């Protein structure tokens, strides 16, 4: 029987992380599993808790959103541990990608019985990111979302995207992907391990967490009205058919721009450009449903 250490981000999901954990923890304990619960004071503190728990052989449960999952993934990898997720944030985009349910009973069965599936992660600026990194208008939107932590994601993300668009001016990007250089004038660059970000926006619909590749999405400059039309297609992923959207794949992306844009990953600020993102294949053992081909 597995034993678990749950690391709870107390502000995730507007403070609803503890409530999300309670029914799952009860079901795990009823099945005979030991469940310890710790509330983190910061992402750094969460990482320390995860490293200690994984080192003692516990499955580490990330209870929160994408930022919490990314913060715990690195320490769990370092300790050769196993990560589980209780989705409790506003976006939960990585959990969506790997098929984790919100229903406590179904989630508990996965945590108890699923094998540790190897999945890829991204490394950038000495950080581990499980979902995607991006620099551009979406990073501005993410910064706006982070200022209103207690607004539901369904409201916060679309409102922030519109707010970012009002003040956005195009940037000139330089991408070096596996030695091939690309330059363009536009809105953003996303390097995706997981296909979703921004509360269910399917920005990179071909992305997989077990293929050893980054799916790079570059959105070139178009008028704002045209950009908005593409934005409305993001939930379905059909924006990738638009002429202003360029799709690339590779294992290492060096990214720069003509001004010091901030690079975000898993909903958190990482560093300012220039930056280099690398895929790390099969680095993390994750409790999740089987990843269908």
Instruction: Give the pLDDT confidence of 245-281 residue by residue, as tens digits.
Output: 999 999 999 999 999 999 999 999 999 999 999 999 9
**Cα(62)–Cα(81) distance, integer angstroms:** 13
CATH at 47 = 3.40.50.10330
Determine how many CB atoms are found less than 10 A away from the CB of residue 31: 14
Where a domain ends, among 64, 81, 114? Answer: 114
Instruction: Assess whether 109 and 137 both reside in one domain.
Output: no
Q: Is residue 62 domain-resident? A: yes
Pairing status of strand 132-136 against strand 262-265: antiparallel
Q: Give the residues across from 45 on adjacent strands.
A: none
Which of 69, 86, 114 corresponds to the end of one domain? 114
> Quick check: 129 and 121 in contact, CB under 8 A?
yes
Same domain, 62 and 138: no
Answer for the pair 279, 251: CB distance below 8 angstroms, yes or no: yes
Q: CA-CA distances (angstroms) from residue 217 to 47, 162, 248?
A: 30, 20, 7
At residue 70, the pLDDT reads 95
pLDDT one-digit tens code per residue, 140-150:
999 998 887 66
Query: Which CATH number belongs to the domain containing residue 220 in this structure?
Result: 2.60.200.40
- Whether residue 125 lies inside any domain: the answer is no
Phi and psi based region of residue 58 (left: phi greater than 0; alpha: psi -120 to 50; beta: remaining): beta
Do 145 and 262 fall into the same domain? yes
- Tell whether pTM > 0.85: yes
Q: By C-alpha distance, which of 77, 76, 9 is closest to 43?
A: 9
Q: Are residues 12 and 110 in the same domain?
A: yes
Q: What is the CA radius of gyration of the chain?
A: 18
Which domain, by its residues, includes 60?
A: 3-114
**Omega within 30 of 0 (cis) for the link into 274:** yes
H-only helix segments in the chain: 17-30, 43-55, 66-78, 93-97, 104-113, 137-147, 153-167, 224-231
Query: How many C-beta atoms lie closer than 10 Å to residue 36's C-beta?
Result: 15
User: Which residues does the chain have with pLDDT short of 50?
Assistant: 293
Q: Clarify whether residues 58 and 162 are in a common domain.
A: no
Assess whether 137 and 276 both reside in one domain. Answer: yes
Asked if residues 226 and 170 have their Cβ atoms less than 8 Å apart, the reply is: no
**How many domains does one find in the chain?**
2
């Amino acid at each position: 029987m597995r034993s678990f250490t749950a690391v709870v981000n107390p502000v995730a999901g507007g403070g609803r992380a503890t409530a999300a954990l309670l029914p799952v923890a009860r079901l795990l304990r009823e099945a005979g599993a030991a469940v310890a619960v710790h509330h983190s004071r910061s992402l750094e503190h969460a990482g320390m808790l995860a490293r200690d728990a994984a080192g003692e052989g516990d499955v580490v449960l990330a209870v929160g959103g994408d930022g919490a999952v990314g913060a715990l993934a690195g320490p769990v990898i370092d300790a050769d541990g196993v990560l589980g997720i209780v989705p409790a944030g506003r976006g939960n985009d990585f959990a969506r990608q790997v098929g984790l349910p919100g229903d406590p009973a179904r989630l508990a069965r996965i945590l108890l019985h699923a094998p540790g599936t190897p999945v890829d992660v991204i490394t950038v600026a000495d950080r581990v990111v499980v979902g995607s990194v991006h620099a551009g208008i979406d990073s501005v939107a993410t910064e706006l979302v982070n200022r209103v932590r207690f607004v539901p994601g369904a409201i916060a993300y679309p409102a922030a995207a519109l707010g970012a668009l009002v003040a956005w001016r195009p940037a000139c990007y330089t991408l070096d992907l596996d030695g091939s250089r690309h330059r363009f004038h536009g809105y953003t660059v996303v390097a995706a391990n997981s296909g979703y970000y921004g509360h269910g926006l399917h920005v990179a619909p071909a992305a997989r967490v077990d293929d050893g590749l980054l799916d790079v999405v570059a959105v070139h400059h178009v008028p704002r009205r045209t950009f908005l039309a593409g934005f409305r297609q993001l939930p379905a992923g059909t924006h990738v058919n638009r002429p202003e959207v360029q799709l690339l794949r590779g294992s290492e992306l060096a990214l720069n721009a003509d001004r010091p844009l901030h690079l975000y990953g898993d909903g958190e600020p990482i560093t300012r450009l220039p930056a280099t993102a690398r895929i790390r294949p099969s680095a993390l053992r994750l409790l999740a449903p089987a990843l269908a081909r």
